[in-house]
Chains A and B, each alone.
Chain A
Amino acid sequence: MSEYKRPLSEAEFEKNFKQKKPLMNQTEAFYESSRCLFCYDAPCMNACPTAIDIPLFIKQINTGNVTGAAKTIFDANWLGNACGKVCPTGVLCEGACVYNLQDVPAIQIGRLQHYATEKVMREDIELFRAGEPNGRKVAVIGAGPAGIACACELRVMGYEVDIFEAKEKPSGLTVYGIAPYKITNEEALDEVEYLQKQLGFSIHYNHPISDEAALKDLENDYAAIFIGVGSGPTRSLLLKGEEKENVVGAVEWIEDLRMKHHELYVPERVVVIGGGNTAMDAASESARMGAKSVILAYRRDKERMGAYKFEYETAISAGVQSWFGIQPVEILGNGKVEGIRFVKTTDQNGRLEIIEGSEFDVPCDMVIKATGQAKLGGFLKQISGLELDSRNRIKVNSTTFQTTNPKYFAGGDAVNGGAEVVNACFDGKMAAKGIDLWLDSLL
């Protein structure tokens, strides 16, 4: 049985979705920062996709230069605050901390990062200014982490930047897709507002770029275009009965959860299909929303799950049951989902085989499909000369992030197929430098 009571108010929602990395107080930040060894060629820094100078910012916190610490962080990563909260630090910086080798707890780098950046955001301390206007204009498609990072970097160099966002809020998955116990909506939005106030890029909300005409307009009006559109909707499983009511995609459902909080109703019995981090999030979130029974169903065995071990443990500790080696064959029910028919599988050296005659039915009231997102191949194919790989990911130069259509640059999930916020931040920043380099080369 789930340990969480169905949240009926925002306060109860916040209780069930208590922040896993809460803000440190001054005492905690002082003691924690005192522990840092200031390693040479620091493994934590090498493990950070944006290569933040972690020993430096921790030393700065320790010596009372918290503003300087925030500057060090934002210099490397424009969404330093969000990344402090949402990064899987256990497999990145903190996982690389040398203390691990002596079974001493790793430095809580993510929380220290959040501590420093939260301070400058709360006190509205100006760290950056837009560069002298250089007369160049760049359009950014998508106000997610990649797009925001690209815009910030371009503004520092003096570019005029217009971001076109299909939704009504910025931050992409940081607001719409990440588990609410990792970051609150306010925290994610505050950071973009903090950056926008200093750097002054424009975001055009509810302004999707979806057809050739819109693309042509951008091509005419802007010197370069950055594509930071992320991934598409949840991919169809092509299952019989998939169209039934209460069969939802994880990405869409989590977006609903992030926007509606306690007002989203989650029925009693939930089955989540998938073995990745999004499946773990959806399962954990369903349990925290008060579902009586949450079953995580993965078609292979536990070791083959794509999810991080800590994400799996988070789900299990929220009361989720995990069933391995089963694959859905049909969604049952009359209009509304009433159950799923599964078949057992066996793994023959990596090749999944169905065990004939092993079908069984599991009654449930909702099915969440966390089986991957479709790529926005249809949209991307409208850009002339833009090559995609076999999995519909945009092909880019690995240092400049320029696509095969020289006017377009791209980064984030649309390029890597779905990674962390911190990877998108890195891509966006690098693409901005790539854009600058390319435009200079045309002179």
Chain B
Amino acid sequence: MKLLTFGAITPFGSNIAEHCLNKSKQVAPRVEYLEYFIHGAKRKIAVHRALSPTIKLPVPDGVLRRMGLSTQLALSCIEEACSSLQVDLKNKKIALLVGTTQGPSSTNIEYFKRLVSFNYRGASPNLFAQSVYNNIASSVALAHSWNGPTCTLVQEEGLWPSLMKIAKLWLQEASADYVWVIVGNEMSLHVPYFQLYDRVKEDSDLEVFTPRISDMPDEAYSCFLLGPNTSSNGADFDLKNTSGILSRAEHVGCSLSPERIGVSLAEFFYKEKSLNV
């Protein structure tokens, strides 16, 4: 497969260039403090949040009336990736493969909150539709009018190899001319809650907990546009070439690793591209 373009949005930058620059300069990632009520007191935990996405939608207002954070993050890195794309995607069969572990979690929680707060009579159809896991893929498809196959994989272990197998299959079978692989997680409110809950004892006076960076769940999305080997543009994208990155990133130590692997791959290809230039 050929890699035609890529993009990322992370706590260090709203695009891969900014991310790499800030990381190399050891600029602090964006940190936000989430507040939880644990053992009778409000406690705070520091988490990494991706920079706020800004998106220019390619479709008229109203086609996508509301978007969850995951969709916005995914669209943001696609917008970045498309800005340097040298092939025309118009009238092509574009497939979307999304890999995530938590899906649109903030929308899910918001949907639940409304449901519970209004004694189970407050279900919002809009929030429910957005809380469905494949909403990220379908919203991106709707935003860009891409009508190839879409597939959302929800798993932690073996996510990247699975995504690569499906992408290769779709390209080989001509189910799609190009395949976007989009991987990421938005900050799932449960995950830092676990860390804080485990850390805080009932008689503890700890008010703010700042985990080590390697233990902090990340909020990041990255995307990669893959084409067949016959594409005249692009770099070779093969799991064998990137297996070192995959294995390093798999062992970063955070349970939500797929988004870290995605960002690591984007970093790798950005540096490769810079070297080639």
Bind each other: no
Give residues in B with beta carbon < 8 Å to A: none
Give residues in A with beta carbon < 8 Å to B: none
